[in-house]
Amino acid sequence: MTLALDIDKLTCVRAHRVLFEALSLVLTAGAFVSLQGPNGAGKTSLLRIIAGFLTPAAGIVRIRTETGAILTDGEDRARAVGWLGHQDAVKLQLTVGEQLSFWSKLYGDGAAALAPFGLAPLAEVPGQFLSAGQKRRLALARLTLTKRKLWLLDEPLAALDAAGKVLVAQSVRAHCAAGGIAIAATHEPLGVDGLTLHLGGP
């Protein structure tokens, strides 16, 4: 079995406003979707619905895992997605090494790889001394260590320099090539081939 995501007639209402209505989308292993649209168009809401945080007003989200299990319940989907929020979830008082070791224990997915993200020299450095770009790298390293196959990325390029952006694109490309799926809400193009989904607007 290969990974698949099936979004079926999804409707999202926030504060009495319909953000999107009857949105349907089927993605299979290797797919990349760039979510675009103005602020407040529902990009983050869509990601949060897929991850099971938010309950849609109508519609169903199904994830078919590589073992063939169909996950429709929000709590089950939550255990299947890899999340990169627009905040970095970096603790100022903990070192880079401590943070990665904590998250790998919490997710129970073995040791974290520091090297590909240029974090090896920073292992002993507390979060408060990291630059915005370094914090993002830490968040990316954490995302890869979770071994989750469906990536949901909220503004992954924010606060990154050119080298960092290349790194994100490379990670996403590698992830999709390995049979994963990635959906990214972005303002600027990620530089990865795939679909573009426009939310909101006229």
Partner 1 sequence: MFSLANPKRFMDASGKVLPWLAVATAVLLTVGLTLALSVPPDYQQGDAVRIMFVHVPAAWVAMMAYGLMALAAAVGLIWRAPLADVAMKTAAPLGAVFTALGLVTGSLWGRPMWGAFWVWDGRLTSFLLLLFLYLGIMALGNAIEDETRAVRASGILAIVGAVNLPIIHFSVRWWTTLHQGESLLRKGGPSIAPVFLWPLAVMALAYTLLFFSLWIVRMRTTILERKAAVLRITGRA
Partner 2 sequence: MNALRSLIARDLVLALRAGGGAALALAFFAAVATLVPLGIGPDLKLLARIAAGVLWVAAVLAALLSLDRLFQADFEDGSLDLMALSPLSLEAVALAKIAAHWLSTGLPLTLIAAVLAVAYGLPANGTGALVASLLIGTPAVSAIGGIGAALTLSIRRGGLILPFIVLPLIAPVVIFGSGAVLAVLDGLASGAFLFLAAFSLLAVVLSPFAAAAGVRLNLGS
The residue ranges that bind partner 2 (CB under 8 A) are 48, 51, 53-55, 78-79, 81, 83, 85-94, 98, 102-103, 105-108, 142
d(CA 10, CA 134) in angstroms, rounded, equals: 36
> Considering the complex, what minimum distance in angstroms separates the CB of residue 193 from partner 2?
27
11 residue type, one letter:
T
Interface residues with partner 1 (CB under 8 A) are: 13, 15-18, 57-58
* Binding partner of residue 106 among partner 2, partner 1, none, CB cut-off 5 to 8 Å per kind: partner 2
Q: How many residues does the chain have?
A: 202
Question: Which of partner 2, partner 1, none has residue 57 at its interface (CB below 5 to 8 Å by kind)?
Answer: partner 1
Instruction: Name which of 11 and 65 has its Cβ closer to partner 1.
Output: 11
- What is the phi/psi pair of residue 14, to 5°? -125, 125
**Residue 103 near which of partner 1, partner 2, none (CB within 5-8 Å, type-dependent):** partner 2
Residue 79's binding partner out of partner 2, partner 1, none, with CB under 5 to 8 Å set by partner kind: partner 2
E runs forming strands in 56-125: 58-64, 70-71, 81-84
Q: Taking a C-beta distance cutoff of 8 angstroms, is the pair 176, 170 a contact?
A: no
**CA-derived radius of gyration, the chain:** 17
